[in-house]
Structure 1
Amino acid sequence: MKNTIQMVDLRGQYLRIKEEIDAALLDAVQGTAYINGPQVKLFAQSLQEYNNVKSAVTCANGTDALQIAMMGLGFKPGDEVIVPAFTYIATVEVIALLGLVPKFIDVKEDTFELDYSKLEGLISNKTVAIITVHLFGQCSNMEAILSVARKYNIAVIEDTAQAMGAEYLFQDGSRAFAGTIGDVGTTSFFPSKNLGCFGDGGALMTQSSTLGDKLYIIANHGQRKKYYHETIGVNSRLDTIQAAILQVKIKYLDEYTEARRAVAQKYDLCLSNIAGLILPEKAQYSTHVYNQYTCRVENGRRDELKAYLLEQGIPSMIYYPIPVHLQKAYLSYGYKEGDFPVSEKLCKEVISFPIHTEMEVEEQDFIIKNIVHFFTHG
C-alpha cells in the first residue's frame, strides 16, 4: 500500500473517461483553433446551463477571474475590500495588485467561512466589496452576507474555486449553486479541483447579463470586436484544448461529487469518536462537495500526525500553514499576530486527508486504520 496513495488521483480519473477525453483533444488539435476555438464557447454555455446562471465567462485561471471581477465592478485604488484572513493567497493577491486595500476578517472555527457577525464593524465609507470564500467545498452563509452588503450597498464576490457544484439552501427552501448568488462568482479549473482541466483555467459567473458582457470584454483585451478596444482589459483566455477537456468532464461533475461525498461519509463514520480530532462541520445552509476533507488536530499534534502518516506512505496537506495577514508580503498593511485569533489557531490545527473520485476501499481503510492508530497508540 505504501507509496501508492495520492491526495488526488488524476491519472485514474483520466483513464476512466480516456476515450472521450482523447477524442475531444484530437478534435481540438485537428481543428487548429487553439485560441477562442468553438470548444471555448461550448463549454461556457455548458457552465452557464449547469449553474443556472445568466452569464458565464471563461478565462485563463482562477486568480485572473478574481482580478477581472474587481475590474468589472469598477473598483478604484484605495477602495477597501473585506476578505478572510484564512484563505489561499490568490484571494488577496489581486486586491493588492489593483491598488485596493484588504480589510481582513476572521473566520468561524467550525465551518472555516468568514465570520459574518463581524462584517458591519469593518465597513467604512471606502468599503466597496466583501469577498467570501466557499472554502473546502461548501457555501458561506450567503443570506447573512448579502443582508449586510445590501444594507451598505457594497458588492459581493464569491470565490468558488473549491466549491463548484455545492448548493446554497435558502431559508425559504429554494436553492442556488455556489458562485451564482452574489454579484460575481469566480472559480478555478486547476487540475485538482472538483472540475479540473489538464492545466490552468478559470471562469466568472453572474446573474447580470450586462456585467457578464463587461467581464467578457475585459478578459479579452477590453475588446468586443478585434482591434477595437472599449475599455482597459487583460489577456486572459481559456485555451481551446482545456475547454475541450472541461466540456467532457462537466458531464461527470455530479458523479464526481457523489464519489467525494461517499469518501467523506466513510471518514465521518470511522473517525467520529476520536478524541483530539475534529471532523469537518457541515453547514446546515449548504451542501458539501469536499474539494478537501479538512480536519483539525487538537493539543498541538497536527505536525506529528502529518509526519506519522507520511512514514506510512499516506500523504496529507495543510491548507493553510500561515494566515494571509501574517504572510511577509502583506505585513505592510499593519496587521500583527493576535489580530485574527481563529485564523491563526486554524493554521496550527488543520490537516486535509486524501479524498478524490477514484479512492479505492482498501486505500481508505488503510488511511483510516493509521489515523486511528496514531490517536489510540501514539
Structure 2
Amino acid sequence: MQVPLLDLTLQHREIAGDIAAAMAPVIDEQRFILGPVVDQFEREIEAYLPVTHAIGCASGTDAILLALRAFDCGPGDEVVTSPFTFFATAGAIHNVGARSVFADIQPDTFNLDPACADDAVTERTKVVMPVHLFGQMADMTAFRALGEGRGVRILEDAAQAIGARQRTADGEWITTGTLGDACAFSFFPTKNLGAFGDAGMTVTNDADTAERLRKLRVHGGRQMYHHEEVGYNSRLDALQAAVLRAKLPHLRAWSDARRHHAAFYDGALAGIDGIVTPVVKPDSESIFNQYTLRVLDGRRDALSEHLKAAGIGSGVYYPVPLHLQECFAYLGYREGQFPHAEQACREVLSLPVFPELTQAQLSYVAETIGAFFGR
C-alpha cells in the first residue's frame, strides 16, 4: 500500500468541475489582475473568519512583509518571533530591514511561548509575531495582553491555520485573524485552503492598516501612476482568487476530516513508548495542516526510513531552527539558547493527514509505526 504525505490530485478530482466553472469567466473576460473576483474572495474571507478587512496579495510571505511595512517596521526595529517555523517568517522581517529577535516555544504545542516572548521585548520592539504552527493557534489572549501592555503590534502568522479556533476565558470562540492587529495567511497549494500556485492574504480589523496594505500591494499608490511611497508588486491574481473561491465552501469539511484522521492516530498510537502524539489544548481547535509526532531517543530518522520503505510518506518540519540558519549568523545566536525549539527540530515527524485518506491507509500508517516500536 502507498500512502503519500499529501496527494492533491484526489482533492482536485472531486471539485474539478467547480474550479473550471469558477475560472472560465476570468479567462473569458481576460481580467487577470485584482478585479471583481478578487474583491468577492476578499469579502468571503471577511465573512468566514470574521474580520473587517481582507487584502489579497501574491504570497503568504508577502502577506507578512506587507503587514510589517504597514506597521512602519524597518531599520532599527525588532520583531519578536519563533525560531521554530518556516523561513518566511524571519525572512520577511529581514527584508523590511528589521531585526529578528527569537524566543523559545512551548514544548507541547510547538507555538511561541508568550512568557518567553515578553522577556524578549525591548524598547526597540515594534512587533511580536506568534506563529500558529501546524494548524493550532498560539495563545492569542496572552499575546493580545502582551501587545496592549507593552505597546507593540501583534502580527499573527497564520499561514498554516486558516479557520483554527480558540476559546477565550468568557467562553467565546475566536478564529485566526481576530485578535491580532493584523494576520497573514498563505494559500500555497499544500495549505488547507490552497491555490494553484502562490497566493496570500493579510487581514485586519483596523481601517488605516487595511488602506496602507492596499496601497503597498500596488506599488504604494491609491491611483495608477501616483505613488505616495515605494510599495511592491504583490497583487492576488484573479485566477488564483477564482480557484480559492471554488474551494472555500469545502474548507470546513476538509478541516473536519483532518481532525477526524488526527483523532484516529491519537487513539491508534496511544501508549507507544518512544513517540508523543500532538497536543491540542482543551480550549483550541486545530485544523491539522500537519499531524506532527515527537519521536524520542534519537529514532526520528530511523522511523522516517522505516515508513519510506513501507511506502508511507512523512516530513520533517523543520530540521534546523531559524536562529541557527547560516544566513542569520549575523544575529549572534548560538546553539543551546532555545532548547525547546532545538529539541523539536531533532524529534518532529509529520504523518499523512490530508482529507482524502482512507481508513485502510490510516490503519496501515498506525500499524507500520507500531511495528517499528515492537507493538
TM interval, shorter chain, is over 0.9
Match of 1:287 in 2: 285
Q: Distance in 2 between matches of 1:121 and 1:240?
A: 43
Please, which moves more after superposition, 227-236 or 329-338?
Answer: 227-236
User: 199-208 vs 111-120, which deviates more?
Assistant: 111-120
How far is the alpha carbon of 1:146 from its aligned partner?
A: 1.6
Offset from partner CA, 1:319-355 (integer Å, 9 cap, x none): 0000000010101110011111111111000000001
Find 2:195's aligned residue among 191, 194, 197: 197
Q: CA deviation at 1:256?
A: 0.7
Partner residue, 1:124? 122
Any residues of structure 2 matched to 1:29-68 within 5 Å, and which?
A: 29-68=27-66
Q: Does 1:96 align with 2:94?
A: yes
CA distance in 2, matches of 1:8, 1:40: 27
Give the Cα separation in 2 of the matches to 1:78 and 1:58: 28
Runs of 4 or more off by more than 2 Å in structure 1?
none
2:299 is aligned with 1:277: no
1-side partners of 2:103 and 2:207: how far apart? 31
Rounded to whole Å, the distance in 1 between the matches of 2:219 and 2:200 is 16
What is the distance in 1 between the residues matched to 2:284 and 2:179?
13
Residue in 2 that maps onto 1:144: 142
- Report if the CA contact (8 A) 1:197-1:246 is conserved: yes
Deviation track 1:207-228 (CA, whole Å, cap 9, x = no partner) reads 1122111111111111212112
Q: CA deviation at 1:64?
A: 0.4
Distance in 1 (CA, whole Å) between partners of 2:307 and 2:73 is 45
Distance in 1 between residues matched to 2:126 and 2:207, nearest whole Å? 21
Q: Quote the residue 1:344 is aligned against.
A: 342
| Mapped partners of 2:240, 2:35: distance in 1 | 11
Q: Distance in 2 between matches of 1:370 and 1:304?
A: 13
Paired letter, 1:290: F
| 2:111 aligned residue (110, 113, 138) | 113
* AA at the equivalent of 2:211: D
Pair 1:210 & 2:204 matched: no
Residues 168-219 of structure 1, C-alpha deviation per residue, up to 9 Å, x if partnerless?
Answer: 2111111221122110000100001011011010000101122111111111
Query: Aligned-pair distance for 1:161?
Result: 0.6
Q: Which residue of 2 aligns with 1:302?
A: 300
- 1:330 alignment partner, SS class: helix
CA–CA separation in structure 1 for the residues paired with 2:170 and 2:77: 34
What is the CA–CA distance in structure 2 between the aligned matches of 1:102 and 1:285, rounded to whole Å?
30
1:373 equivalenced with 2:371 (yes/no) = yes
1:240-280 Cα distance to aligned partner (Å, 9 max, x none): 11100000111111111111111111101100111111000
Tell me, yes or no, if the aligned pair for 2:103 and 2:117 is still in contact at 8 Å: yes
Structure 2: distance between partners of 1:259 and 1:120: 36
TM-score by length of 1: 0.97
State the distance in 2 between where 1:307 and 1:99 align: 40
1:250 and 1:298 map into 2 onto residues whose CA distance is 38
Q: Distance in 1 between matches of 2:227 and 2:96?
A: 20
Deviates more, 1:21-30 or 1:80-89: 21-30
Structure 1, 220-229 or 292-301: larger mean CA deviation:
220-229
3-state DSSP of counterpart to 1:284: coil
AA of the residue aligned to 1:347 = C
Residues 4-62 of structure 1, C-alpha deviations (whole Å, 9 max, x = no match): x2222211101111111111122221120011132111111111111110000000000
Whether the 8 Å CA contact 1:82–1:122 is kept in 2: the answer is yes
* Structure 1: distance between partners of 2:98 and 2:46: 30
User: Which residue in 1 is equivalent to 2:217?
Assistant: 219
CA contact under 8 A between 2:51 and 2:177: conserved in structure 1?
Answer: no
2: CA distance between counterparts of 1:243 and 1:105?
A: 35
| 5+ long unaligned stretches in structure 2 | none
State how far apart, in whole Å, the 2-side matches of 1:274 and 1:293 are.
16
Q: For residues 160 and 187 of structure 1, what CA distance do their matches in structure 2 show?
A: 5
Q: Kindly indicate whether the alpha-carbon contact (under 8 Å) linking 1:9 and 1:357 is maintained by their aligned counterparts in 2.
A: no
The whole-number CA distance in structure 2 between the counterparts of 1:353 and 1:243 is 29
Matched, 1:319 2:317: yes
Matched residue type, 2:325: Q
Residues of 2 paired with 1:146 and 1:52: CA distance?
Answer: 17
TM-score normalised over the length of structure 2? 0.98
The structure 2 residue matched to 1:8, chosen from 6, 13, 28, is 6
Give the Cα–Cα distance (whole angstroms) in 2 for the partners of residues 153 and 87 of structure 1.
25
1:185 is aligned to: 183
CA distance, structure 2, for counterparts of residue 265 and residue 27 of structure 1: 40
Contact 1:141–1:285, Cα closer than 8 Å, also in 2: no
CA RMSD of aligned residues (A): 1.0
Structure 1 runs not aligned, ≥5 long: none
- Corresponding residue of 1:166: 164
- Aligned equivalents of 1:369, 1:284: Cα separation in 2: 28
Q: Map Cα deviations across residues 92-127 of structure 1 (whole Å, 9 max, x no partner).
A: 001111111111101011000111122232121101
**1:58–1:203 contact (8 Å) kept in structure 2:** yes
SS state at 2:203 partner: strand
- Aligned to 1:296, the other structure's residue is in SS state strand
